């Protein structure tokens, strides 16, 4: 994982801001972006590749992105709640890993500009990770420092801490959370009062914060995970620590990916006792919220066993497979 950042379309150079969007970015934001320039570069996973021009018509405003994405993609749970079934042609959408792959499939179903709403059968049916990935891809195109975060949301009305992925972006004053899945209809459906581009930190908790709550006995492990498919437990929260640490280094894996010691956690559905202390220490440092890419790299240097391996154990369709993530 150490040498895998900065491999997107910008090759580690500061992205150029198209003039038509430059007026939307303040001088203060540009100064802030200079310090966090690493996160303004595309990663391998967020790089739109040959489809980068599709973003030219889109806003770089985090507040606007959820409404745009809502007309292009569906989370299967949201779709089901609205009586929309997943088309047979979209059964493999969840397995798509890169922004370039997502855009390729989306355009193959409807090649109109991304500002045009798609019919349900022409949309992508993907996870919260894919919403965050596409939002990050758009923002990085316009030099906005952004990173994915892995944790748990409390605002879906189920009484659970639900596995969830969001964007964390710089607004010139600090890191803000953007839940790209929360367009106005979804916010109304779940009675969410806060704006999608400013999610409160007590509503979305990072994997580290949830692990600490579990360790303190302040949270029932059976309430943590993906309840709709029966996956809950402290072992899942432990694996989420790995995914969040990877995302901080711009290795935006899938929610069902496991590597290193996390393979043991998913296979046994528990965290082995010899890992508890090490995970506590990792969570303690992650909970302090590393600010820059270098800060995040320093954490992985301290805990090399969390680095993404060349292959991961993953469950794209429920059954385990070994998949290469080398690039």
Q: In the chain, where are the structural domains located?
A: 19-324
pLDDT of residue 35: 84
Q: Is the dihedral of CA 309, 314, 320, 324 positive or negative?
A: negative
Q: Give the residue-averaged pLDDT of 52-69.
A: 96
Of 297, 293, 292, give the one whose Cα is nearest residue 307: 297
Does pLDDT of 14 surpass 70?
Answer: no
CA–CA separation, 125 and 295 (whole Å): 34
**Residue 3: pLDDT band by 50, 70, 90 thresholds?**
very low
Tell me the three state secondary structure of residue 176.
strand
In which element (H, E) is residue 192 found?
A: none
pTM of the model: 0.91
Of 168, 129, 139, give the one whose Cα is nearest residue 253: 129
**Which is higher by pLDDT, 278 or 10?**
278
**Residue 27: pLDDT band by 50, 70, 90 thresholds?**
low
Q: Give the residue-averaged pLDDT of 165-187.
A: 95
Instruction: Tell me how crowded residue 35 is: count the other CB atoms within 10 A of its CB.
Output: 12
For 109-155, how does the pLDDT look when each residue is reduced to its tens digit (9 = 90+)? Answer: 999 999 999 999 999 999 999 999 999 999 999 999 999 999 999 99
CB-based contact 149:168 (threshold 8 Å)? yes
pLDDT of residue 135: 98
For 70-96, how does the pLDDT look when each residue is reduced to its tens digit (9 = 90+)? Answer: 999 999 999 999 999 999 999 999 999
Instruction: List the single range of 31-35, 101-105, 148-152 with lowest mean pLDDT.
Output: 31-35
Of 165, 187, 196, give the one whose Cα is nearest residue 63: 196
For 214-260, how does the pLDDT look when each residue is reduced to its tens digit (9 = 90+)? Answer: 999 999 999 999 999 999 999 999 999 999 999 999 999 999 999 99
**Residue 171: pLDDT band by 50, 70, 90 thresholds?**
confident
Residues 36-74: b if buried by 16+ CB within 10 A, e if exposed: bbbbbbbbbbbbbbebbebbeebbbbbeebbebbbebbb
Q: If you search the block for the tokens 């993907």, which residue do you land on?
A: 126
pLDDT of residue 196: 98
Q: Give the residue-averaged pLDDT of 144-168.
A: 96
Does pLDDT of 63 surpass 50?
Answer: yes
For 187-211, how does the pLDDT look when each residue is reduced to its tens digit (9 = 90+)? Answer: 999 999 999 999 999 999 999 999 9
**Residue 172: pLDDT band by 50, 70, 90 thresholds?**
confident
Of 144, 234, 235, give the one whose Cα is nearest residue 197: 144
DSSP track, 32-53: HHHHTGGGGS--TTT--GGGGG
> DSSP H helical segments within 82-152, as ranges?
99-109, 128-141
CA distances in angstroms from 158 to 153, 227, 269, listed in the order given: 10, 9, 22
pLDDT of residue 13: 40
Across the chain, mean pLDDT equals: 92
**Residue 317: pLDDT band by 50, 70, 90 thresholds?**
confident
Task: Tell me the β-bridge partners of 166.
Answer: 149
State the burial class of residue 246 (Cβ atoms within 10 Å of its Cβ: 0-12, 13-18, 19+).
buried
Does pLDDT of 26 surpass 70?
Answer: no
CA–CA separation, 55 and 106 (whole Å): 13
**Residue 4: pLDDT band by 50, 70, 90 thresholds?**
very low
Rg (CA), the chain: 19
Tokens of residue 300, six digits = 């992985």
**Which is higher by pLDDT, 325 or 16?**
325
**Residue 33: pLDDT band by 50, 70, 90 thresholds?**
low
CB-based contact 166:149 (threshold 8 Å)? yes
- Percentage helix, strand, coil, to 5, in the chain? 45, 15, 45
Q: If you search the block for the tokens 């994405």, which residue do you land on?
A: 69
């Amino acid at each position: 994982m150490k040498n895998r950042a900065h491999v997107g379309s910008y090759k580690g150079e500061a992205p150029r801001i198209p003039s038509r969007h430059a007026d939307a970015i303040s001088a203060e934001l540009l100064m802030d972006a200079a310090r966090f320039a690493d996160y303004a570069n595309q990663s391998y996973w967020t790089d739109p590749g040959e489809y980068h021009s599709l973003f030219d018509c889109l806003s770089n405003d985090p507040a606007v992105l959820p409404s745009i994405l809502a007309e292009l993609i569906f989370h299967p749970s949201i779709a089901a709640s609205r009586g929309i079934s997943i088309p047979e042609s979209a059964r493999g959408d969840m397995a798509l890993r890169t922004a370039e792959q997502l855009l390729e499939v989306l355009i193959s179903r409807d090649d109109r500009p991304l500002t045009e709403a798609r019919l349900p059968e022409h949309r992508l049916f993907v996870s919260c990770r894919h919403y965050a990935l596409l939002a990050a891809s758009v923002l990085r195109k316009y030099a906005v420092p952004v990173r994915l975060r892995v944790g748990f949301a409390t605002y879906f009305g189920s009484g659970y801490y639900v596995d969830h992925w969001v964007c964390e972006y710089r607004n010139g004053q600090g890191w803000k959370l953007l839940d790209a899945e929360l367009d106005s209809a979804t916010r109304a459906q779940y009675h969410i009062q806060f704006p999608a581009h400013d999610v409160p930190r007590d509503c979305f908790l990072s994997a580290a914060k949830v692990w600490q709550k579990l360790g303190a006995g302040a949270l029932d492990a059976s309430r943590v995970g993906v309840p709709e498919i029966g996956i809950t437990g402290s072992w899942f929260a432990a694996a989420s620590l790995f995914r969040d640490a990877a995302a901080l280094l711009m290795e935006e894996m899938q929610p069902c990916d496991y590597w290193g010691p996390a393979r043991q956690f998913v296979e046994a559905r528990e965290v082995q006792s010899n890992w508890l202390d090490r995970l506590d220490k990792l969570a303690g440092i992650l909970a302090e919220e590393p600010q820059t890419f270098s800060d995040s790299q320093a954490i992985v240097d301290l805990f090399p066993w969390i680095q993404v391996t060349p292959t991961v154990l993953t469950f794209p369709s429920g059954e385990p497979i070994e998949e290469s993530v080398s690039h």
